[in-house]
Amino acid sequence: MPELPEVETVMRGLEPAMTGQTIVAAEIRRPDLRWPFPPQMKERLTGARVIRLGRRSKYLLIELETGETLIVHLGMSGRMVIHTDARHVDGAFHHDQHVPAKHDHVQLTLGDGTLVIFNDPRRFGAMDLIATDRLHTHKLLAKLGPEPLGNQFSAAVLTAAFKGRKTPVKSALLDQRIVAGLGNIYVCEALWQSAIAPTRQTGQIPAKRINALTSAIRETLDDAIAAGGSSLKDYRKADGELGYFQHSFRVYGREGKGCLRDGCNGTIQRLVQAGRSTFHCPLCQQ
C-alpha cells in the first residue's frame, strides 16, 4: 500500500541499513519494471557508497557518493526486503547462498553483507538514476505539488488549486500536481475526516471546509506514519519486509459498516470515481 506514509516508513527502515554502506554488488534480474532500467544501472550502482536516503512524494531517494541519486517507486505492489544473514555478523559472507524469491527483481549487496531486495509482483514500480544536482528536473518529480507535511502546503494552496474547477474533490486530491503523496486510501480518509463528500466539485467547497481538509490531510498522514513507525520494529524482526504494515482505517474498505463519526448513524458506501473505489459516508460527508 505504498502511499506517502508507507514510503516514509520504508525509507526509515532502510536508512540504518544502507546509510554509509557501499553497494558491493547489484543484481538486476530483468531489463525493466514499468519502464526499462537506465543504461548501465548495474555498473553505476556497483561500488557506489550511499550517502543518505530521502523521500519525495511516493518516491524513495537513495543518494550516492558518485553524484547520482537512485529513484525508486514502489508502484502498487512493490516492497523492499532487508535480508541479513546471521553469518555476516562474524565477518564471513555467505550471501551468495540466498535463494531469490519470486518477483525479486533487483538485489543490492552492501559492504556488511546485508541484502536489500526490491520485490514487485505487478511491476508497476520503477527505478531510475539521475545526477543529484538535477534531481528536481527529473520527469517524474518535476511537476509534483507540495509535500503535504511540509511548509509549502496550506489551505491557501488548496484554495488556489480548487478555485473555479469542477473536478470532484476526490480526483483533485489524487492529482499529484496539486498535492504530492496522497493515494486512494488516504484521500478517502482525509475526506471522511473533514466531512466532505468525495463527489463535491472543488470550486464549491467553502473556505471553512478547505481549512478542515488541510488539517485532515496532515493528521491522517501523521497518524499513518506514526503507526508505521511503531510497527516497523516488529515487522523487521519477523521477515525484514518493509512497506506493508497493520493500520486500521476509519472509512477505507468499510463498505456496509457503520460510520465511525460520533453521532452519525450512516452506513459507509462504496462508489467508483475515475475507475477507482471511493469509500464514504453519504450522511455526514457533504
Partner DNA sequence: ATGTGTTCCTGTCCGC
Partner DNA sequence: TGCGGACAGGAACACA
Query: Which spans of this chain sit near DNA (rule: CB under 7 A)?
Result: 1-3, 6, 34, 57-58, 73, 75-77, 102-103, 121-124, 140, 165-168, 171, 174, 176, 183-185, 244, 247, 274-277
> Rounded to whole angstroms, how far apart are CA atoms 283 and 263?
11
Q: For 84-146, where are the E strands, in sequence order?
A: 104-110, 115-119, 126-131
Q: Of the two residues 22 and 277, which places its CB atom closer to DNA in the complex?
A: 277
Q: Of the two residues 209 and 247, which places its CB atom closer to DNA in the complex?
A: 247
**Cβ-contact 255, 270 below 8 angstroms:** yes
Residue 125 grid coordinates? 514500480
Q: Of the two residues 76 and 89, which places its CB atom closer to DNA in the complex?
A: 76
Q: Of the two residues 57 and 214, which places its CB atom closer to DNA in the complex?
A: 57
Strand partners, 270: 279
Strand order in the sheet with 241-242: 23-28, 104-110, 115-119, 79-83, 241-242
User: Smallest distance, Å, CB 139 to DNA?
Assistant: 7
> Rounded to whole angstroms, how far apart are CA atoms 155 and 215?
8
User: Smallest distance, Å, CB 14 to DNA?
Assistant: 18
Catalytic residue ranges: 2-3, 58, 276
User: Smallest distance, Å, CB 188 to DNA?
Assistant: 9
User: Smallest distance, Å, CB 134 to DNA?
Assistant: 17
User: Smallest distance, Å, CB 65 to DNA?
Assistant: 27
Q: Of the two residues 46 and 176, which places its CB atom closer to DNA in the complex?
A: 176
What is the DSSP-derived secondary structure letter of residue 33?
A: S
Which among 275, 101, 257 is positioned nearest to 184, based on CA atoms?
A: 275
Give the count of alpha carbons within 13 A of 29, CB side only.
15
